[in-house]
Structure 1
């Protein structure tokens, strides 16, 4: 195996996502070399990622890179990479809140954070958005506890609850909650809300793009007319948000909204951006909940006026996710519960860069 690059790796599930976790010190510092390693390890450029450990789906083609904190007020740095399945491209523009759920456990077990008592607070600096998120990780006798009584829709079984708190998530990429300057705009004749909170998104009513919003994820992903419409709207929204040409980026994420059917606040279908998420991104939930609580948005027009503190219950294809919103020190704080699990540890093997380039 001397012709392959061997890198320590831990595969983890975080929320409803899954992917390899690496220490930053184990990966090349040069971005081009690091991207080549990640593309090879994940097997990108093939729909099944058959020559790598990716799962052939955007929710299982994610990478977390963890290192010591580079800013005050944080314990660790978390760089998220969305590795494309359809082509050889690594996108660092978004954050992933589901993978975020596993950052605290990984950091503790990697020796970056010392476990204390029955709950260890890990302050995570997301390098992608420059925001800090707090994670409360269940621990006992200096070790992470994975087994517990919590359940999240989209993941079978029970696990220990990990409480995530997004501190002032507004303006994660653009610096503004509403980057266009308006809580709603008209794009191609359709009312939309372009919001940047935890992750940039463009929200619209399902009925305005020709669907009910209650279809399953696979049906929506297979609806080529819908996917083309969403791509066109999000491209124009990206320009209006000051993000330039977003055609090669996975943000802003298009999201279609409809009235709740199962006692929630809102029903959503979240796209990544060309496939419908089987559940809902954690960052998406934070932004959607914030839109519900903001006057003049498409979300608030469906859900009705909401005053903080409030519990926003968002229905998605896999069930529901609850977001608690409150005001702390003048900023909106979002809290929610996720779970995580360590799946295996060992080494991931990558081809040298020239082999990756040849394969492309």
Structure 2
């Protein structure tokens, strides 16, 4: 008989990293990797439920995330972490990608947990991401031995300002597929219900599907509420699923939402445009290099997924891709992306190796802040 009063718990911290929020825990707080761990996280976050009312999830993809962090057991890194995207409407946990926003909180968690020794005025730590087998060099401002939470750096999509955390993602190409251009092509065509869509499939920091906003009858400046249309999201998911088929990630495109819920991401791209931001204010076309909207786990993102921004910025510097049709001319390393909440700037360092392009490093600035710590309770699977 199942004990109707029993609950289990994990000790961890809720941290807002960039424009995402997630649970940060050490691996010993969770069941071993596999079905039991997934079941525990699904219960813990209150999935499946669009509100996640019976768990710690926030009812959307950017607040239904987990980071499992520990001291690294390799000489190349100080801290190792594994990212999990917990489903909202579906009882899934996708371990195939990374989260650039929550990566900004990994060093903060490691410092507050005593995994690394703090140095002032800033601590530099090397992170190893187990999902993508890549390294991240991160610099965290430190005051009185603790990560700073106040500063003058602004991240569009987050109220106020905070202490800037810089993350440098080394050799980010091929994170899932092992190749910058997984099919060998810089652009190709996928067909959905008889309609052809030119796309670029690019793997930098996370695998992304880029397509023209105009090919879906959009102007590219739509806000999340405008994109939250069932017919449009179904069409985008079928395009994403068709890309998964092309890449051999699923056998049937209609299974992608369950089998590959988080990766690849799908992004709509258009030229630099002026538009009204979500909330208030405007983005001026002269202040950005490209306009984009991204959909993650079948949900329009309220701002922009960080790994998606890194991939888009790199794609803007790779000739022959869909994004290069729209990006403002220029050879500056920084690419300024216009998204629903404002702008985000990503630094890109590229090179040519044996006649082929290579992405050596991408840089992003974010802020992070611990919100809560303690025990989070869930009912163990029967």
Contact in 2 for aligned 1:174/1:242 (Cα 8 Å): no
Task: Say yes or no: does 1:93 pair with 2:96.
Answer: yes
Tell me the residue number matched to 2:380: 352
Tell me the residue number matched to 1:300: 324
Tell me the residue number matched to 1:270: 294
Tell me the residue number matched to 2:310: 286
Tell me the residue number matched to 1:178: 181
Residues 111-137 of structure 1: per-residue CA shift (max 9 Å, x gap): 111111211112111111111111100
Tell me the residue number matched to 1:116: 119
Separation (CA, whole Å) in 1 of partners of 2:257 and 2:297: 10
Q: How many residues align?
A: 352
Give the counterpart of 2:271 among 251, 259, 265: 259
Separation (CA, whole Å) in 2 of partners of 1:314 and 1:111: 36
Question: What TM-score do you get using the length of structure 2 for normalisation?
Answer: 0.89
Tell me the residue number matched to 2:212: 205
**Structural mapping, 1:51-130, within 5 Å:** 51-130=54-133
Contact in 2 for aligned 1:205/1:258 (Cα 8 Å): yes
Tell me the residue number matched to 1:237: 243
Shift of 1:86: 0.6
Contact in 2 for aligned 1:25/1:67 (Cα 8 Å): no
CA RMSD of aligned residues (A): 1.7
Residue range with higher mean Cα deviation, 140-149 or 298-307: 298-307
Question: Please, which runs of 5 or more residues in structure 1 have no aligned partner?
Answer: 355-360
Give the counterpart of 2:334 among 311, 328, 345: 311
Shift of 1:55: 0.6
SS of 2:326's equivalent in the other structure is helix
Shift of 1:35: 1.4
Task: Say yes or no: does 1:7 pair with 2:10.
Answer: yes
Separation (CA, whole Å) in 2 of partners of 1:87 and 1:182: 32
SS of 2:300's equivalent in the other structure is coil
Residue range with higher mean Cα deviation, 238-247 or 151-160: 238-247
Separation (CA, whole Å) in 2 of partners of 1:52 and 1:60: 11
Task: Say yes or no: does 1:31 pair with 2:41.
Answer: no
Shift of 1:71: 3.2
Give the counterpart of 1:321 among 332, 341, 344: 344
Question: Please, which runs of 5 or more residues in structure 2 have no aligned partner?
Answer: 274-283, 354-358
Separation (CA, whole Å) in 1 of partners of 2:30 and 2:100: 22
Contact in 2 for aligned 1:177/1:197 (Cα 8 Å): yes
Contact in 2 for aligned 1:265/1:314 (Cα 8 Å): yes
Question: What TM-score do you get using the length of structure 1 for normalisation?
Answer: 0.94
Separation (CA, whole Å) in 1 of partners of 2:328 and 2:319: 9
